[in-house]
Amino acid sequence: MNPSCSNNNERKNRHKQRCQIAMHREEKSSSSSGVLPKRIIVVRHGESQGNLDPGAYTVTPDHKIPLTPQGISQALSTGPRIRHVISSSSSSPDWRVYFYVSPYTRTRSTLRELAKSFSKKRVIGVREECRIREQDFGNFQVQERMDAIKETRQRFGRFFYRFPEGESAADVFDRVSSFLESMWRDIDMNRLNHNPSNDLNLIIVSHGLASRVFLMRWFRWTVEQFELLNNFGNCEFRVMQLGEWWRVQLGSSSYR
């Protein structure tokens, strides 16, 4: 046998063994440190200028659309409601929260207001997460054109229709699925630095369609089921509570 071939095989075997050992250690660490969250709360942002006036998108990029004064008030009053949901049904008085937030102005502003209801000791972290941003509808949006496009989407199907220069709901599904995988790695590897003796609550501050897609992915709803869903109201939230199985409850904060 050629000595160089033998050396290559030995290196490959050693590399394979090291990979197997590393995977075993990672799995062991994951199983020992990972703690399932007690609940996951998905929140839609408060009323934005775009909700009040669709013409706002013609002059302001979607990611810079701000909350209205009403939206700020909604977010501020939603914090105590979420806190009550957590504190009234937690098995541990030392419960903690971890926030994931879309990078858009309206979601970050929503988080800033509702987080005022949580003391610093309750919050173990905040992460800005691009994959839970709003569906991309294109760049500056001409209202008359968007009206015609949305009419076409209704006939084509809301899940698979892709906006020109933008995304389909199916595209959002793919990136939300990627986010979910990362979220579970955060939990499994205890990247959130969470004390397992405390109830862990994940709060996701996102958008209407992204929130629907999150629930679709989590509960494995079909495309047909998705087509029957509507967005949450502004600052409305869903509580996914861990028991014998995960279940969804309608949040107590609802604005129409």
For 152-181, what is each residue's pLDDT tens digit?
998 999 999 999 989 999 999 999 999 999
Percentages helix, strand, coil for the chain, rounded to the nearest 5?
50, 15, 35
Largest CA distance in the chain: 78
Cβ–Cβ under 8 Å, residues 149 and 163: yes
Q: Is the pLDDT of residue 19 over 90?
A: no
Please give the average per-residue pLDDT across 50-73, as a whole number: 95
Residue whose token pair is 């909700």: 51
Task: Check residue 45 and give its pLDDT.
Answer: 98
Task: Check residue 21 and give its pLDDT.
Answer: 36
Q: Is the pLDDT of residue 16 over 50?
A: no
Closest Cα partner for 239 from 117, 108, 81, 115?
A: 81
Tell me the pTM: 0.81
Question: If you average pLDDT over every residue of the chain, what do you get?
Answer: 85
> Which residue out of 45, 113, 167, 194 is catalytically annotated?
45
Delimit the domains of the chain by residue range. Answer: 1-33, 36-250
Task: Check residue 69 and give its pLDDT.
Answer: 98
Per-residue confidence at 147, pLDDT binned at 50, 70, 90?
A: confident
> Which residue out of 47, 129, 134, 236 is catalytically annotated?
134
**Percent of the chain surpassing pLDDT 70:** 81
**Is 134 an active-site residue?**
yes
**Is 236 an active-site residue?**
no
Task: Check residue 20 and give its pLDDT.
Answer: 40
Cα separation, 246 vs 39, whole angstroms: 9
Task: Check residue 89 and give its pLDDT.
Answer: 82
Q: Is the pLDDT of residue 218 over 70?
A: yes
For 100-136, what is each residue's pLDDT tens digit?
999 999 999 999 999 999 999 999 999 999 999 999 9
Class (C level, CATH) for 36-250:
alpha beta
Give 39's contacts (C-beta < 8 A, 6+ positions apart).
85, 86, 199, 201, 202, 239, 240, 241, 242
Residue scoring higher pLDDT (188 or 209): 209
Task: Check residue 25 and give its pLDDT.
Answer: 35
Q: Is the pLDDT of residue 255 over 80?
A: no
